[in-house]
Amino acid sequence: MQNFHMGSHTLKSHGVKVANVHKYDWIILLLLAAIDLTLNLIEPFHRFISEEMMTDVSYPFHPDTIPMWAVPIYAIILPTAIFFAFYWKRKNVYDLHHAILGLFYSVLITLVITDAIKDAVGRPRPNFFWRCFPDGIGVYEPNNGNVMCTGDKNVIKEGYKSFPSGHSSVSFAGLGFLSWYLAGKIKVFDRRGHSAKLCIVLFPLLGAALVATSRVDDYWHHWQDVLSGSLIGIVIASVCYLQSFPYPNQEEGWAPHIYFQMMVVERNDASSRRLNPFNAQRSDVETADDSHST
Report the catalytic residues. 167, 221
Rounded CA gap, 47 and 19, in Å?
45
Backbone phi, psi, residue 65, to 5°: -65, -40
Three-state SS string over 84-102 comes to HHHHHHHCEHHHHHHHHHH
HSE at residue 161, side-chain half, CA atoms within 13 A, is 21
Residue 210 and residue 159: Cα distance in Å, rounded?
22
